């Protein structure tokens, strides 16, 4: 895929508004050099040295590239599937597991491309995926995802998920979807050795991600934690998403969810958790003290009626809070700017309008998400950070009459970036991904989705 080359020194000049996710002004724009942010300019300030190109951003709201901390790319193939439209989490899973078990490598390639393209057009530059399905014929699932990420020019945290606790062992997933621990651990080591990049500017990173308390044994949780420490990679799992999960943990392990997490060596700053809806006061304090992060997935939590997480309290206690769109069978979209809007509104129901501002919600989608993924080189506009940016226009009818550009972005429902840059390279221009035939992709993906649910 062709990407627009970046000039050697670019001034993104005088945006309509800028959210830097820190205390810097940014009203004068940014200077980009060698894939990084060289300068953040205040209003009226000029670059310190000559630039080779100027981009007039006076019609754009400028943000750091948005960061998605929890997704299941493969689920774009089962959006709005009638048998699960009106079900909560456990029956939703029980109905979908047999369908997902039929995934092929081609299905996953199409699903991943659709998920990432949708994210990219929403202003997202880095995405974490939680893939835990490895049926026969799909043993190289993460390799497939790596190829798509590279093609689209994004960054990704691809987590090697796992399921080991089948129905016949008291778990939720069917037997054909679980793997032996030795297979999981060997493949995890292979993926880390083959793909995991470290340091600033990393494009592909690998994490370890046993699926959930109701689909894995305690031993694979412990072994994954030990392997993650050995190779210094991150840990991810679903936790405290529903009250059903809480009851399962008490029945199966005799522990509440955070006690369970602690018992398997996961309560620490290497870990980030998906959902984290049902924590009590003591558990919030423990998570904050440990620096364990939480991926807030508001749309999914509303769609499955899972509850409203206590994100402000988690953040105030010291737990990094990021945003995740979750899988496209429980959202049913992959749009991160809309997820920030949903987070703003859902968290206001719990804490009130004064406590949850547009800036706080955007902070979760940027710097908070970067912290959740263990990164300090992305998620804010500051000198030395990667030049990952999203620019949104406010000239659509929905924004007519709006007064504060940054607030309008969320309150008026922006859903598509005009331009997106990753590492100093433009990946989206005029709302479109260069070199990607969306009509052809949509046709192939839609046919694969129909075939998958039909069983062949």
Q: What is the DSSP string of 143-158?
A: HHHHHHHHHHT-EEEE
Per-residue pLDDT, 136: 82
Per-residue pLDDT, 455: 86
**361/405 Cα distance (integer angstroms):** 15
pLDDT, tens digit, 9 for 90 and up, residues 189-214: 999 999 999 999 999 999 999 999 98
Per-residue pLDDT, 391: 98
Per-residue pLDDT, 276: 98
CB 427 within 8 A of CB 421: yes
Per-residue pLDDT, 5: 55
pLDDT, tens digit, 9 for 90 and up, residues 408-452: 999 999 999 999 999 999 999 999 998 999 999 999 999 999 999
| Residue 163 burial (C-beta neighbours within 10 Å; 0-12, 13-18, 19+) | buried
CB 32 within 8 A of CB 10: yes
Residue 162: partners with Cβ closer than 8 Å, 6 or more residues away: 132, 179, 184, 209, 210, 211, 216, 220, 224
pTM over 0.85: yes
Per-residue pLDDT, 6: 53
| Residue 190 burial (C-beta neighbours within 10 Å; 0-12, 13-18, 19+) | middle
4: pLDDT strictly greater than 60: no
CATH of the domain spanning 9-64+382-433, picked from 2.60.120.260, 3.30.1360.30, 1.10.540.10, 2.30.40.10: 2.30.40.10
Nearest CA-CA partner of 407 in 17, 15, 14: 17
Nearest CA-CA partner of 142 in 185, 85, 187: 187
Per-residue pLDDT, 431: 96
Half-sphere exposure of 229 (CA within 13 A, CB side): 11
7: pLDDT strictly greater than 60: no
Least confident of 171-175, 233-237, 301-305: 171-175
Residue 408: partners with Cβ closer than 8 Å, 6 or more residues away: 394, 399, 402, 414
3: pLDDT strictly greater than 90: no
Per-residue pLDDT, 397: 98
| Residue 247 burial (C-beta neighbours within 10 Å; 0-12, 13-18, 19+) | exposed
Residue ranges per domain, the chain? 9-64+382-433
Helices (H), 101-203: 105-121, 141-152, 181-195
Q: What sign has the CA pseudo-torsion 308, 310, 315, 321?
A: negative
pLDDT, tens digit, 9 for 90 and up, residues 288-317: 999 999 999 999 999 999 999 999 999 999
CB 157 within 8 A of CB 126: yes
Least confident of 37-46, 243-252, 358-367: 243-252
Q: Which two tokens stand for residue 99?
A: 């369908």
Round the average pLDDT of the chain to a whole number and report it: 96
**348/342 Cα distance (integer angstroms):** 10
168: pLDDT strictly greater than 90: no
Q: Mean per-residue pLDDT for 121-132?
A: 98
**393/410 Cα distance (integer angstroms):** 12
CB atoms within 10 A of CB 155: 26
pLDDT, tens digit, 9 for 90 and up, residues 395-405: 999 999 999 99
Confidence category of residue 171, pLDDT binned at 50, 70, 90: confident
Q: Work out the end-to-end distance of the chain between its first and last CA atoms, rounded to an integer number of angstroms.
A: 31
Per-residue pLDDT, 395: 96
Q: Mean per-residue pLDDT for 71-97?
A: 96
């Amino acid at each position: 895929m062709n990407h627009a080359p970046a000039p050697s020194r670019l001034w993104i000049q005088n945006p309509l508004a800028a959210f830097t996710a820190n205390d810097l002004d940014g009203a004068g724009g940014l200077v980009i050099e060698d894939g990084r942010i060289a300068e953040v300019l205040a209003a009226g300030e000029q670059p310190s040295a000559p630039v080779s190109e100027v981009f007039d951003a006076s019609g754009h709201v400028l943000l750091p590239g948005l960061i998605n901390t929890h997704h299941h790319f493969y689920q774009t193939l089962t959006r709005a599937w009638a048998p699960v439209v009106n079900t909560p989490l456990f029956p939703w899973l029980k109905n979908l597991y047999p369908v997902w078990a039929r995934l092929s490598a081609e299905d996953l390639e199409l699903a991943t491309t659709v998920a990432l393209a949708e994210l990219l057009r929403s202003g997202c530059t880095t995405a974490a995926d939680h893939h835990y399905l490895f049926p026969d014929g799909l043993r190289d699932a993460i390799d497939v995802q790596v190829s798509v990420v590279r093609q689209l020019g994004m960054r990704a945290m691809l987590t090697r998920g796992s399921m080991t606790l089948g129905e016949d062992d008291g778990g939720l997933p069917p037997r054909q979807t679980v793997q032996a621990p030795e297979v999981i651990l060997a493949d995890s080591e292979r993926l880390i050795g083959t793909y995991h990049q470290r340091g600033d500017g990393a494009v592909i990173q690998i994490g370890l991600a046993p699926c959930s308390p109701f689909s894995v044994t305690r031993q694979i949780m412990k072994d994954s934690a030990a392997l993650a420490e050995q190779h210094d990679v991150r840990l991810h799992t679903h936790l405290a998403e529903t009250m059903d999960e809480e009851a399962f943990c008490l029945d199966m392990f005799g522990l509440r969810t955070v006690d369970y997490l602690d018992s398997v060596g996961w309560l620490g700053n290497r870990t980030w958790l998906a959902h984290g809806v049902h924590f009590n006061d003591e558990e919030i304090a423990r998570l904050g003290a440990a620096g364990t992060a939480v991926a807030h997935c508001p749309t999914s939590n509303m769609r499955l009626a899972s509850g409203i997480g206590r994100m402000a309290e988690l953040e105030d206690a010291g737990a990094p809070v990021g945003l995740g769109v979750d899988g496209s069978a429980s959202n049913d979209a992959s749009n991160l700017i809309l997820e920030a809007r949903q987070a703003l509104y859902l968290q206001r129901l719990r804490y009130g309008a004064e406590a949850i501002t547009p800036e706080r919600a955007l902070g979760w989608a940027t710097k908070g998400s970067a912290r959740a993924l263990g990164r300090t080189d992305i998620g804010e506009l500051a000198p030395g950070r990667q030049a990952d940016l999203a620019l949104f226009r406010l000239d659509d009818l929905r924004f007519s009459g709006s007064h504060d550009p940054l607030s309008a972005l969320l309150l008026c429902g922006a859903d598509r970036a005009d331009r997106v840059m990753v590492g100093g390279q433009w990946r989206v221009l005029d709302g479109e991904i260069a070199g990607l035939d969306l009509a052809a992709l949509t046709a192939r993906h839609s046919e694969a989705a129909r075939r998958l649910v039909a069983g062949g």
